[in-house]
Structure 1
């Protein structure tokens, strides 16, 4: 009898060990992703693609995505800094747009107050006009812009973000005072799309992936992309090809809460390492025409510090910083 009990116990223990061994190696109880923008934009797309990858790989038991838009991400950033301290499962999506918005809005919170985890991806921006627009080419848009800067309303994401910066760089490149750019900021990609397609602005700027379906359906006309080369499989020429000497890629990243331990940070990075090698994430990169720019550790911190300095100087030089 005793022998049978011992045998049964050992079998149960072995089964238990087998169960533990089969569990995901990087399983977390929960991951919360805060998107500091309204649904429909690039940060939201990034967060939901990451959520799908984490779920597909069984990296966390539960993954949630919440949106808190406004002021180029600085409202969501403030909420994150003030409310998530020490939470090892809390993360925030952000990127180049947020860096510019922090400077232009003179935000009381900044990226030194969160924990850098990883740069995730990069996206080429696209300049579009509504399908109904009389403007057919980038040259026609630039000619009107140079003749009367105020007559060209540019629609895009939050003030000081990558869309706004690109409009300023285009102005600078064609000899227009960047301070004269008539830029209309929207808090989310969905709002910007509706305004552009509705003809409320003359031209729009956003990540190519955000406008891709509208371009393919003929609702928007793509005039130029901001990368060094054309997007693979797409016929839209670059700004440089058309004589506008501007090149820019919008990067996106993910951050952890302030005040987490080194062990918590390593656990989150290990989870990201696994998520970005998944087929789910690779499919998202391909589907959205995002560049794989994954970078973690000291190298990401070094990149972040340098780009914060670069973008802050750029938006100041372009006259975007509020007095």
Structure 2
């Protein structure tokens, strides 16, 4: 009888365990892989590695690895991520406005509705620069050069259709020239476009301010303007709007999980990211990199992405980069 009672108790406990909710996932137990869908040295790579560093320093993840998958404005990395991260509780992807543009211009098979928005993280002011040896001292000088010979005004930046390309085309349009004629050379990472700038192979370049901050401060590059609507403390380059050019553009970046993750796993990732970006360590890091805190939680970020898709499509269509 004792054995029978023991067996019945074990069976009851097993049945109860089957209907009880699973134990919550603790953020500090997370073992994560973050895909940076671009080469080393660029903005997405920097964002992924910054998140990696602070999540581990603050104990909001046990381990974090970063994997670079460059190509086609992030759409190669996006496609790989959608296929490999379905339902995964430990994979995330960095993306942003450049990916939105690349999805549209490349007619990519996947878009940001195929992944799970976790949080918008940062807003990076785009900066327009020229090499230190350039004859262009001001934004007005550069725009005059575009008017005189748009074909010989060569721009360096990230992938075709991305934020850098959009800004170069908008500046060309503001100079009174057909934006479809912009001579834009797309590079897969910030390191490559920087090399082109320092090597004198291009006329001007566009990137996130943080990517080229060191070269601007050292005097190797001359910053002519930023794309933010208002001046930013610590950045001497003035907004395009303050220089009479009616253009503003925020290079935002966010973090995504794979498709079809459980509500519990999504909540664990949201909590881990929210605690990370609320930490003093994160606030110190983004200040050092010249980024702005642009945090938005999952629901707000999801709505924002939908509005950005509509806005970016309209801009790309107006400058001949989309149908």
TM superposition score normalised by structure 2: 0.90
Corresponding residue number in structure 1 for 2:28: 27
**Structure 1 residues 29 and 298 mapped into 2: Cα distance closer, same or farther (>3 Å)?**
closer
Equivalent residue runs for 1:1-323 within 5 Å = 26-321=27-322
Q: CA deviation at 1:196?
A: 0.8
Aligned partners of 1:194, 1:287: CA distance in 2, in Å?
Answer: 23
Q: CA deviation at 1:218?
A: 0.8
In structure 2, runs of 5+ residues without a counterpart are 1-24
Aligned partners of 2:79, 2:204: CA distance in 1, in Å?
Answer: 31
Aligned partners of 2:290, 2:119: CA distance in 1, in Å?
Answer: 19
Per-residue CA deviation, residues 4-56 of structure 1 (Å, 9 max, x unaligned), is xxxxxxxxxxxxxxxxxxxx952233011000000111111111111111101
Aligned partners of 2:281, 2:191: CA distance in 1, in Å?
Answer: 24
Are the aligned partners of 1:34 and 1:91 in contact in 2 as well (CA < 8 Å)?
A: yes
SS of 1:200's partner is: coil
Q: CA deviation at 1:233?
A: 1.9
SS of 1:319's partner is: coil
SS of 1:73's partner is: helix
Per-residue CA deviation, residues 96-155 of structure 1 (Å, 9 max, x unaligned), is 000000001111111111111110010111100011112222111110101111110010
SS of 1:204's partner is: strand
SS of 1:27's partner is: helix
Are the aligned partners of 2:146 and 2:175 in contact in 1 as well (CA < 8 Å)?
A: no
Per-residue CA deviation, residues 166-200 of structure 1 (Å, 9 max, x unaligned), is 11111222211110100000000000100011111
Are the aligned partners of 1:52 and 1:280 in contact in 2 as well (CA < 8 Å)?
A: no
SS of 1:160's partner is: coil
- Detail structure 1 runs of 4+ shifted over 4 Å in the superposition: none
Aligned partners of 2:243, 2:226: CA distance in 1, in Å?
Answer: 10
Corresponding residue number in structure 2 for 1:21: none
Aligned partners of 2:158, 2:298: CA distance in 1, in Å?
Answer: 29
Aligned partners of 1:112, 1:208: CA distance in 2, in Å?
Answer: 28
Aligned partners of 2:97, 2:29: CA distance in 1, in Å?
Answer: 28
Aligned partners of 1:276, 1:97: CA distance in 2, in Å?
Answer: 22
Aligned partners of 2:293, 2:160: CA distance in 1, in Å?
Answer: 26
SS of 2:159's partner is: coil
SS of 2:223's partner is: strand
Corresponding residue number in structure 2 for 1:17: none
TM superposition score normalised by structure 1: 0.90
SS of 2:47's partner is: helix
Are the aligned partners of 2:26 and 2:268 in contact in 1 as well (CA < 8 Å)?
A: no
**Structure 1 residues 25 and 79 mapped into 2: Cα distance closer, same or farther (>3 Å)?**
closer
Are the aligned partners of 1:90 and 1:256 in contact in 2 as well (CA < 8 Å)?
A: yes
SS of 1:231's partner is: coil
Corresponding residue number in structure 2 for 1:8: none
Q: CA deviation at 1:297?
A: 2.7
How many residues in Structure 1 have an aligned counterpart in Structure 2? 299
Are the aligned partners of 1:95 and 1:251 in contact in 2 as well (CA < 8 Å)?
A: yes
Q: CA deviation at 1:221?
A: 0.7
